[in-house]
Amino acid sequence: MRKEWKVAKKYNYLAILIIAVSFFAACEDDFSEVGSDLVNNNNFNALLYDSSSLDAYSVKITGAQTNNFNNLLLGVYNDPNYGMLTANVVSQLSLGTTGPDFGTDPEIDSVVISIPYFSTAIDIDGETTIYELDSVYGNEPINLSIHRNNYYIRSLDPDNDYEAQEYYTDQFSTFEQNYDAEPLLEVSNFTPSAEEIKTLEYNETASTDDEDVFDLNRSAPRFRFHLDVEDFQQLIFDQEGSSELISNANFQNYFRGLYFKSESINDAGNMSLLNFSQGNITIYYTDTYETTEVNENGNETEVTVVDREEFVLNFSENFNVFDSEYEQIPDQNNLYLKGGAGSMAVIDLFTDQNQLDSIRDLNWLVNEANLTFYVGDQVEDNENQPDRLFIYDINNNQVLSDYTSDISAIDNFPFRSREIHLGPLQTDDNGDRFYKIRVTGLVNNIINNDSTNTRLGLSVSTNVNNTQVTSGRFGANAPEQLENIPQMQVITPEGTILHGTNPPANESSKRLKLNIFYTQPE
């Protein structure tokens, strides 16, 4: 069953909202007592407190369940700070029709595998639509091959009371050891193409005298290649009438799916996100047979009929397996956020209960609260790091109230959605890069409504509107409440490094702090 965050209904907007965000200067000195860091701020006519105790540390993600995903990564991504990540795909196939009858004398014309990329139409040139690919990382070629998988993909787990079987990204070696060496497809120097796909489709309503027997179809860019006809003649058509094709259970034991294998060329590569839920393998074939036609005079004539047919194999159970050079978190002075099965950060607010009780006694009206995360100097440019981060409540496995109340939510434009709560990557007047995460609702509930303090998870994301989660496996220092991680963390290969609560002395101004702007009752 697909897991989802508890998210309030989102609102649609006709245009992108322009949001005014105010920035505030922090006090130079830090003190341990509540009320000692008060700054009068003309924007809010409010005071600033930035000395609440908090803790932040990195947690390694050793594996993530992905067989509940529709979209998967394929390729090689080399991060300058985290090293190489290879994403391969295991895909189980299902018969479009069980117990198929291919006709009297079928002959395969072609076999085509087709899986859409994520893309945006940006222009029209004559009759051709110009597309731009989304969710493609890196532009160096890789070697790509597709093999027959030999590892049986179970739907139920006999070792877990026959619950639904889960497959994780850390099972790379299992599938690397269980595929046919002879590939069904090899593509050297592969890079994803943004070109519109043009295909000819037979028009069944056209007469044989028509010139336009075929229609020209256009579709968005996709991973599309021709597979060997002889392979699928043997694998599928030669099995007609056998028990292998009588049901999908039998078929999936006989043909255990595909293994998409990526290999780097010269320690570089590219990685793309593919929509497997909209992909398939289509076998195009003709069936030739003799029949009798009766003409207008009642005379019978023997004719040869050629029917053009197609048989579809759907991608049914698909998941990622990863091979990563990033194995250990270097230190806990920084916060290491790395997509894929990489790492995330855990943040504990108000770790000093006495301090929190003192704040509560003051009855502050919280105007704004935010966490500002500064990017470390070891991250040299913005090209290889995410534009957005995602924060959530680990204890209760849900998004924050600030997420659901964010009026900047734009359902059909996730790149710029919810920028009040989840501020995008920005640069300050000193040229320092940062993300500002607004947590006003959360902090107000903790201080004024005596809500239980929560533990926060911080991860990378390329679509903050996607709040679905998946099961994870974690390093030894992970809190016991941490069981699930955002799906977007897994299918976003980029990473960044942020300053934590103890930066070097020369970077003390970039220390992670909780800034609370409040009004003091008279």
pLDDT value of position 40: 44
Q: C-alpha angle 412/467/14, rounded to 5°?
A: 20
Given a cut of 70, whether residue 21 has pLDDT beyond it is: no
Rounded percentage of the chain residues whose pLDDT exceeds 90: 77
- Does an H or E element contain 260, and which? strand 258-263
Given a cut of 60, whether residue 7 has pLDDT beyond it is: no
Convert the pLDDT of each residue in 335-365 to its tens digit.
Answer: 999 999 999 999 999 999 999 999 999 999 9
Confidence of residue 209 (pLDDT cuts 50, 70, 90): low
Given a cut of 70, whether residue 33 has pLDDT beyond it is: no
The lowest-confidence range among 239-248, 374-383, 403-412 is: 374-383
Domain ranges of the chain: 51-63+331-519, 83-100+113-280+315-323
Confidence of residue 456 (pLDDT cuts 50, 70, 90): very high
The lowest-confidence range among 16-25, 42-51, 315-324, 353-362 is: 16-25
Q: Do 56 and 336 contact (CB within 8 A), yes or no?
A: no
Convert the pLDDT of each residue in 167-206 to its tens digit.
Answer: 999 999 999 999 999 999 999 999 999 999 998 877 766 5
pLDDT value of position 15: 35
Q: Crossing angle, helix 440-448 and helix 353-361, to 10 degrees? A: 80
Q: C-alpha angle 159/160/166, rounded to 5°?
A: 95
Confidence of residue 298 (pLDDT cuts 50, 70, 90): confident
Convert the pLDDT of each residue in 457-496 to its tens digit.
Answer: 999 999 999 999 999 999 999 999 999 999 999 999 999 9
- 398 secondary structure, DSSP code: B
Convert the pLDDT of each residue in 59-69 to its tens digit.
Answer: 999 999 999 89
Given a cut of 70, whether residue 44 has pLDDT beyond it is: no
The lowest-confidence range among 25-39, 138-152, 312-326 is: 25-39
Q: Do 70 and 133 contact (CB within 8 A), yes or no?
A: no
- Closest among 434, 520, 487 to 73, alpha carbons compared: 487
Calculate the average pLDDT of the chain: 89
Locate 511 and state its tokens. 């220390």
The span from the CA of 332 to the CA of 124, in Å, is: 50
pLDDT value of position 522: 72
pLDDT value of position 35: 38
Convert the pLDDT of each residue in 221-256 to its tens digit.
Answer: 999 999 999 999 999 999 999 999 999 999 999 999
Rounded percentage of the chain residues whose pLDDT exceeds 70: 90
Q: Where are the alpha helices (DSSP H) in 318-477?
A: 353-361, 401-404, 440-448
Given a cut of 70, whether residue 11 has pLDDT beyond it is: no
**pTM to 2 decimal places:** 0.88
pLDDT value of position 50: 95
The span from the CA of 470 to the CA of 485, in Å, is: 6
SS (HEC) of 177-195:
CCECCCCCEEEEEECCCCC
Given a cut of 50, whether residue 315 has pLDDT beyond it is: yes
Given a cut of 80, whether residue 19 has pLDDT beyond it is: no
